[in-house]
């Protein structure tokens, strides 16, 4: 039996990891008592279940956590990690941008992003680019990487394999790669080439395990059975983007809510 398969078998036999009470409470405070979160951000909690999701991934306040393409979760993670942990914001490397203007904006982002958030991150956070020659972190140095609704972009840019390889390299043995991704139906004829924002769960699991990670657990925390996944513009027809064509379509899609999402916890083998 291959070592990775043996590790997976052992993981599946273990009881579900439960956070210590103080770690669970810290996540709850970062979600519900966070002065940096806006009303618009809090309105998404009903669809994105941030406290449940971070607890499922086993995130604690003393970890080093990287967030690729930071966005909606940033204020929560910044507040959670500020005192005891380290937050790393990750953006696409400038050389992958299609024009000079985008490359220039990328450099401005790296230089100003942390400072632009004021006191949110404390003094240990930093911003880095993915897929650069030097890498965004030292080997075996990051406790967790959380990829929220971002994997389809790496597929479309044809860099998924490179991104996952870098994640594996910088991750500590036993570290967590958490994935929340718009989920395509397994029997759908759609493929990533259709660029609809959805990926099949089997595709994601195959790609991430091929990179060396082991699937430790999966959850339906962020599932939405009302998502019909048949919108002309893909997932962007749903909230919060809501690019549906007519007022009637927008009202219908608003009632559906946000997309059906897989929630997958992978780990890097070893301790």
pLDDT digits (tens, 9 = 90+) for 210-265: 999 999 999 999 999 999 999 999 999 999 999 988 899 999 999 999 999 999 99
**In this model, does residue 12 exceed pLDDT 60?**
no
**In this model, does residue 18 exceed pLDDT 90?**
no
Contact partners, residue 36, CB within 8 Å, separation at least 6:
75, 78, 79, 117, 120
Average pLDDT of the chain to the nearest whole number = 92
The pTM score is 0.92
What's the start-to-end Cα distance of the chain, in Å?
Answer: 19
- What is the pLDDT confidence band of residue 52, given thresholds at 50, 70 and 90? very high
What is the tens place of the pLDDT at every residue in 21-48?
A: 999 999 999 999 999 999 999 999 999 9
Average pLDDT over residues 188-214: 97
Average pLDDT over residues 180-202: 96
**β-pair type (126-129, 171-184):** unpaired
Q: How high is the pLDDT of residue 1?
A: 45
Provide the token pair at 122.
């404390």
Q: How high is the pLDDT of residue 94?
A: 82
Half-sphere exposure of 229 (CA within 13 A, CB side): 23
**In this model, does residue 148 exceed pLDDT 80?**
yes
Residues 213-236 as b/e (b if ≥16 CB within 10 A, e otherwise) read: bbbbbebebbebeebebebeebbb
Measured distance CA(107)–CA(160) in Å, rounded = 22
Measured distance CA(266)–CA(178) in Å, rounded = 6
Average pLDDT over residues 152-176: 97
Average pLDDT over residues 147-153: 97
Q: How high is the pLDDT of residue 13?
A: 43
Residues facing residue 261 across a β-bridge: 182
**In this model, does residue 96 exceed pLDDT 60?**
yes
- What is the pLDDT confidence band of residue 107, given thresholds at 50, 70 and 90? confident
- A 10 A CB-CB count for 190 gives 16
- A 10 A CB-CB count for 157 gives 13
> Angle at CA 171, nearest 5°, toward 169 and 172?
120
- What is the pLDDT confidence band of residue 158, given thresholds at 50, 70 and 90? very high
Q: What percent of the chain has pLDDT over 70?
A: 92
> Angle at CA 221, nearest 5°, toward 215 and 226?
120
Q: How high is the pLDDT of residue 17?
A: 57
Residues facing residue 87 across a β-bridge: 65
Q: What percent of the chain has pLDDT over 90?
A: 83
Say which residue the tokens 């500590």 belong to.
Answer: 172
Measured distance CA(69)–CA(14) in Å, rounded = 32
Measured distance CA(236)–CA(223) in Å, rounded = 17
**In this model, does residue 15 exceed pLDDT 80?**
no
Cβ atoms of residues 70 and 125 within 8 Å: no
Measured distance CA(120)–CA(237) in Å, rounded = 32
What is the tens place of the pLDDT at every residue in 110-126?
A: 889 999 999 999 999 99
Provide the token pair at 93.
């490397």
**In this model, does residue 102 exceed pLDDT 90?**
no
Q: How high is the pLDDT of residue 80?
A: 98
């Amino acid at each position: 039996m291959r070592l990775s398969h043996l590790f997976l078998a052992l993981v599946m036999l273990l009881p579900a990891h439960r956070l210590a009470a103080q770690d669970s409470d810290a996540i709850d405070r970062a979600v519900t008592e966070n002065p940096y979160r806006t009303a618009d951000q809090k309105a998404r909690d009903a669809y994105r279940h941030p406290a449940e999701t971070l607890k499922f991934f086993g995130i604690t306040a003393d970890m080093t956590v990287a967030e690729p393409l930071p966005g909606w979760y940033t204020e929560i993670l910044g507040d959670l990690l500020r005192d005891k942990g380290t937050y790393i914001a990750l953006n696409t490397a400038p050389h992958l941008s299609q024009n000079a203007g985008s490359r220039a904006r990328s450099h401005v982002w790296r230089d100003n992003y942390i400072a632009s958030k004021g006191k949110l991150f404390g003094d240990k956070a930093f911003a880095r680019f993915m897929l650069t020659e030097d890498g965004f972190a030292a080997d075996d140095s990051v406790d967790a990487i959380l990829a929220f609704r971002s994997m389809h972009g790496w597929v479309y840019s044809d860099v998924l394999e490179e991104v996952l390889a870098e994640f594996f390299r910088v991750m500590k043995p036993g570290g967590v790669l958490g994935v929340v991704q718009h989920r395509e139906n397994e029997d759908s004829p759609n493929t990533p080439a259709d660029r609809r924002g959805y990926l099949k769960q089997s595709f994601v699991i195959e790609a991430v395990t091929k990179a060396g990670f082991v699937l430790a657990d999966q959850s339906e925390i962020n599932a939405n059975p009302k998502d019909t996944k048949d919108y002309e513009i893909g997932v962007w027809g749903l909230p919060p983007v809501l690019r549906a064509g007519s007022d009637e379509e927008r009202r219908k899609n608003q009632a559906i809510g946000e997309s059906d999402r897989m929630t997958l916890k992978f780990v890097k083998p070893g301790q």
